[in-house]
Amino acid sequence: MILVNGSDKDHIELSDRGFQYGDGLFETIAVRNGKPVCFDRHLVRLKDGCDRLYIPFPGAELLTLEARQLVQQTTDSVLKIILTRGSGGRGYRQPNTIKTTRVLSLHPFPEYPSNYKETGIVTRFCNTRLGINPDLAGIKHLNRLEQVIARAEWSDPAIQEGIMLDNNGYVIEGTMTNLFYVKNNTVYTSPIDLSGIAGIIRGIIMQMSSSYGYPVIEHNFTKEQLLSADELFLTNSIIGIWPVKQLDNMFFEKGLGAQTMQAMLTQFYNETIKDVF
Amino acid sequence: MILVNGSDKDHIELSDRGFQYGDGLFETIAVRNGKPVCFDRHLVRLKDGCDRLYIPFPGAELLTLEARQLVQQTTDSVLKIILTRGSGGRGYRQPNTIKTTRVLSLHPFPEYPSNYKETGIVTRFCNTRLGINPDLAGIKHLNRLEQVIARAEWSDPAIQEGIMLDNNGYVIEGTMTNLFYVKNNTVYTSPIDLSGIAGIIRGIIMQMSSSYGYPVIEHNFTKEQLLSADELFLTNSIIGIWPVKQLDNMFFEKGLGAQTMQAMLTQFYNETIKDVF
């Protein structure tokens, strides 16, 4: 079942600005045992994105109600929420009255081999760069061509993720993940004020990890700095935390940093899952 | 009537990557007396965009056939063609076999006051900047949030267009137009290798204007350089060429440059309209 503005549908008006211009936002949410994980955080990010793009937020209550309709039939799955500026307006100009489109859909939970989490994945640097744009940086919006063409750079199934630099030459994130590296017991990640997405797991790590002995520092770093790290790991809401065991020709071991962050995240899930939904 | 892959429809699958990621391209084509203006050039640009994004081009013949079905019922209108990477794939990863989605739709021709063309329009500088991304620059793709939020900066109906700078601080184009300025009988425009769209009228001017006594030079220029110009004008396929009579607090007169380019464009249309379609 897919809910479009509350009705069971599998299609959208051609005039929807999501289709015409990518004029909207989305969230990809893990559902475990019938409960969307970190649902409250996803809603906060969605509302922040709406505020930054001047799209009226439909309200947490309505989205929660509709999400419940979908996930009650499932144990483990992925809930995707898309919000768009709806139809209308003249060209790029938004309509005087915006009727936000809501699309909630449920997808199978991707089953990844357990060694991705345990020993790490193989990655590569992408040639496609992330554009610099502070007006859109951080937002999980529907303009995702950069990620699509970066992901199209490789088809080797042994490589699970590609790491992207921005047009200033700094390393930012993976095509579908945020990137962290550990050096001398400190965790580093790129700021996302010029490009990149403010991931939910990234946010949890930023907030909690120093109390686990791993303070996080946001800074701009180069390929060379990344390759001299003690360990690397990648995060998103579906995969959680994956260590990197290989980046191009460089090899890494899963370290105490990734291990501690994974344990922290499990504890965080266990403590918060009952609170929401 | 709207044709989606050849069938009369008003909706698109939710799974279409155009909706999910803005993973596609579009063309906005003026139709005059039942003929799409510069149709051959629009098809060439569409094919170029497909090549750059690795989207299979459906072929000029099929698109011409479908366009004919639509425009035969009309005199003056706007033909919009959208091509997307279709449905499927896993996340950003494109499907192994791409089935390009084609959407052709017809819209009323916008009636602008004749003084826009004759004496010029009022414009402003936008605060929203164009991101820098050589991988996507020039392409008329569906990731158009920058233009949407730039256009949302003003609602004063006296202002017809907003001029956008890129994140390097150079002036690039309007939200829906390419920008030219004239200084000492030379026409200048921004390169579109880092951001911006390679407009069809822009291409015609680049190609033909030197034989009308106005060579065009592509160069990076600042706000200040633009404001010291003898005259400014804006171009796109629907409006043709509009002089700028005001940009923020600066006033300009329509000059010989815009006048000559308008005459050249009319002649070009008259000579080429019979050749195509």
User: Using one digit for the tens of pLDDT, what is the confidence trace for B79-96?
Assistant: 999 999 999 998 999 999
Q: Do B92 and A136 touch (CB under 8 A)?
A: no
User: Using one digit for the tens of pLDDT, what is the confidence trace for B136-185?
Assistant: 999 999 999 999 999 999 999 999 999 999 999 999 999 999 999 999 99
Which A-chain residues 72-131 have CB contacts (< 8 A) with chain B?
82, 85, 90-94, 103, 105, 110, 128-131
User: Using one digit for the tens of pLDDT, what is the confidence trace for B109-134?
Assistant: 999 999 999 999 999 999 999 999 99
A163–chain B nearest CA distance, Å: 14
Active-site position among B28, B64, B74, B186: B28
pLDDT at res. A276? 60
pLDDT at res. B220? 98
A151 contact residues in B (CB cutoff 8 A): 91-94
* Nearest residue in chain A measured CA to CA from B28: A91
Active site residue B28: yes
Mean pLDDT score across all residues of chain B: 96
Helical ranges in A54-137 per DSSP H = 60-71, 115-118
The domain spans of chain B are: 2-108, 114-272
pLDDT at res. A78? 96
Chain centroid to CA A67: 18
Helix (H, G, I), strand (E, B) or coil at A98: coil
pLDDT above 90 for B221:
yes
pLDDT at res. A44? 98
Same topology, domains B2-108 and B114-272? Answer is no
Helix (H), strand (E), coil (C) string for B153-198 = CCCCCCCCEEEEEECCCCEEEECCCEEEEEECCEEEECCCCCCCEC
Chain centroid to CA A161: 13
CA distances for B128 relative to B144, B151, B275, angstroms = 12, 9, 40
Top-level class of domain B114-272: alpha beta
Take residue B83 and report the two structure tokens written for it: 């091509």
CA distance B208 to A157: 49
* Nearest residue in chain A measured CA to CA from B82: A20
Mutate to test the interface with A, among B1, B7, B11 (most CBs of A within 10 A): B11
Chain A, chain B: beta-carbon pairs less than 8 Å apart: 167
Cβ-based neighbours of B54, under 8 Å, separated by 6 or more: A149, A152, B94, B98
pLDDT at res. A272? 86
When pLDDT is averaged across residues B2-27 and rounded to a whole number, the result is: 97
Give percent above pLDDT 70 in chain B. Answer: 99
pTM for the structure as a whole: 0.96
Q: Does domain A115-272 have CATH number 3.20.10.10?
A: yes
User: Using one digit for the tens of pLDDT, what is the confidence trace for B188-207?
Assistant: 999 999 999 999 999 999 99
CA distance B1 to B8: 6
Residue A166 DSSP class: B
pLDDT at res. A159? 98
Confidence of residue B276 (pLDDT cuts 50, 70, 90): low
Question: What pLDDT tens digit does each residue of chain A (277 aa) get?
Answer: 899 999 999 999 999 999 999 999 999 999 998 999 999 999 999 999 999 999 999 999 999 999 999 998 788 999 999 999 999 998 999 999 999 999 999 999 999 999 999 999 999 999 999 999 999 999 999 999 999 999 999 999 999 999 999 999 999 999 999 999 999 999 999 999 999 999 999 999 999 999 999 999 999 999 999 999 999 999 999 999 999 999 999 999 999 999 999 999 999 998 887 656 6
A149 contact residues in B (CB cutoff 8 A): 53-54, 135-136
Helix (H, G, I), strand (E, B) or coil at A100: coil
**Which residues are B31's β-sheet partners?**
B36, B77
B133 Cβ under 8 Å from any chain A Cβ? yes
B56 contact residues in A (CB cutoff 8 A): none
Helical ranges in chain B per DSSP H = 17-21, 39-53, 60-71, 114-118, 145-151, 200-208, 223-227, 256-272
Take residue B266 and report the two structure tokens written for it: 């009319």
pLDDT at res. A277? 67
Which residue type occupies B71? V
pLDDT at res. B88? 92
Helical ranges in B78-139 per DSSP H = 114-118
Specify the pairing of strand B121-125 against strand B240-247: parallel
What fold, for A2-108?
D-amino Acid Aminotransferase; Chain A, domain 1 (3.30.470)
Which B-chain residues 135-174 have CB contacts (< 8 A) with chain A?
135-136, 141-152, 167
B142 contact residues in A (CB cutoff 8 A): 19-22, 145
Q: Do A146 and B132 touch (CB under 8 A)?
A: no
pLDDT at res. B231? 98
pLDDT at res. A273? 75
Which residue type occupies B179? L
CA distance A265 to A213: 14
A9 contact residues in B (CB cutoff 8 A): 14
Active site residue B183: no
Neighbours of B149 (CB within 10 A): 21
pLDDT above 90 for B69:
yes
pLDDT above 80 for B275:
no
ipTM above 0.85, yes or no: yes
Neighbours of A76 (CB within 10 A): 12
Which residue type occupies A198? A
Q: Do B145 and A136 touch (CB under 8 A)?
A: yes
pLDDT at res. B234? 98
Active site residue B9: no
Q: Do A14 and B20 touch (CB under 8 A)?
A: no
**In terms of Cα–Cα distance, which of B42, B46, B55 is closest to B88?**
B55
User: What is the radius of gyration, based on Cα positions, of chain A?
Assistant: 19
- Check residues B270 and B264 and name the one with the higher pLDDT: B264
pLDDT above 70 for B268:
yes
